[in-house]
Amino acid sequence: MVSSPHEAMHRIFQEYPGLFSGASEVLGVDFGPLVGVTVLPTDLTEARPVERRVDTLLRVDTDANGSNLLAIESQGKKDPAKSASWAYYLSYLHTKYRLPPVLLVVCQDRATAEWAARPVDIGPPEDIKSPIVDLISQGLGTLPAAALWRKLVAVDLSFYKSPISEELRDEGRAESRAEDILFILELRGITVPEDVRGRITGCDNTETLLGWLARALTTPSAEGLFSDE
């Protein structure tokens, strides 16, 4: 049974649509002044069956990752209508089978492949991603899922600016420099004790790591990285 709190959380936007203007500012989305709102039917059931067929659908079972759905589409040329269809396929398959769906588009030429590889944008502009990413990060707090969330959003941070994205970029630069330092020392045949390795990989100050990286080229020992300290 639908509860009163559930109804109140969404029906308030029907009664006072102007609230969305304030919410959009919080989310970082500028939809412009509100000039009209139309309440549409909420039943999303398709009244008439629409034929939608994926070219090949496989259930893939593995020891490591469990079961997944693999939807394979053969695409000979660019088709603007396909982006919406592919998004529908994945959503429908996940709803029906409750398994993670993967879409593989097989193309005949590079141009079509590059077109098919583009992300499908069906929501508001990209600037909404920044505050939502930060709000989710703050909401997770110290829960174990917080670390997983940081890894997920670190996959591609190039499209927006936010405190968490800048922090993750700094972490990525620090990790890269630490790996470079260790690589240079090992390439020069210098033994790196575990305590030194831990100090290098545990440092998150990019300027300090840059100094160590310069010393790694000439230091006679791993401990020599810290000679000035």
Place of tokens 């990060």: 137
The yes-or-no verdict on residue 173 having pLDDT over 80 is no
Greater model confidence, 47 or 62:
62
pLDDT at position 158 is 47
Rounded to an integer, the average pLDDT of 64-82 is 85
Question: Are 55 and 72 in contact, with CB atoms under 8 Å apart?
Answer: yes
The yes-or-no verdict on residue 145 having pLDDT over 80 is no
pLDDT at position 159 is 45
pLDDT at position 80 is 86
Question: Are 172 and 203 in contact, with CB atoms under 8 Å apart?
Answer: no
pLDDT at position 69 is 86
- The pair of structure tokens assigned to 147 is 């670390």
Phi, psi of 67 (to 5 degrees): -105, 140
Out of 128-132, 151-155, 211-215, the most confident range is 211-215
Distance CA 47, CA 43 (A): 10
Q: What DSSP string runs through 9-44?
A: HHHHHHH-TTHHHHHHHHHT----S-----PPP---
The yes-or-no verdict on residue 116 having pLDDT over 50 is yes
- Mean pLDDT across the chain: 76
Greater model confidence, 113 or 46:
113
Q: What DSSP string runs through 82-112?
A: HHHHHHHHHHHHHHHH-S-EEEEEEESSHHH
The yes-or-no verdict on residue 95 having pLDDT over 60 is yes
Question: Are 117 and 78 in contact, with CB atoms under 8 Å apart?
Answer: no
pLDDT category at 21 given cuts 50, 70, 90 is low
Please report, for residues 10, 16, 76, 126, the alpha-carbon distance to residue 33 in angstroms, rounded to integers and kept in the order given. 21, 15, 43, 19
Rounded to an integer, the average pLDDT of 6-14 is 71
pLDDT at position 31 is 58
* pLDDT > 70 fraction of the chain, expressed in percent and rounded: 69
pLDDT at position 132 is 64
pLDDT at position 136 is 73
pLDDT category at 180 given cuts 50, 70, 90 is confident
Q: For residue range 192-216, what is the model confidence (pLDDT) as tens digits? A: 999 988 888 888 887 888 888 888 8
The yes-or-no verdict on residue 221 having pLDDT over 80 is yes
pLDDT category at 134 given cuts 50, 70, 90 is low
Question: Are 81 and 50 in contact, with CB atoms under 8 Å apart?
Answer: no
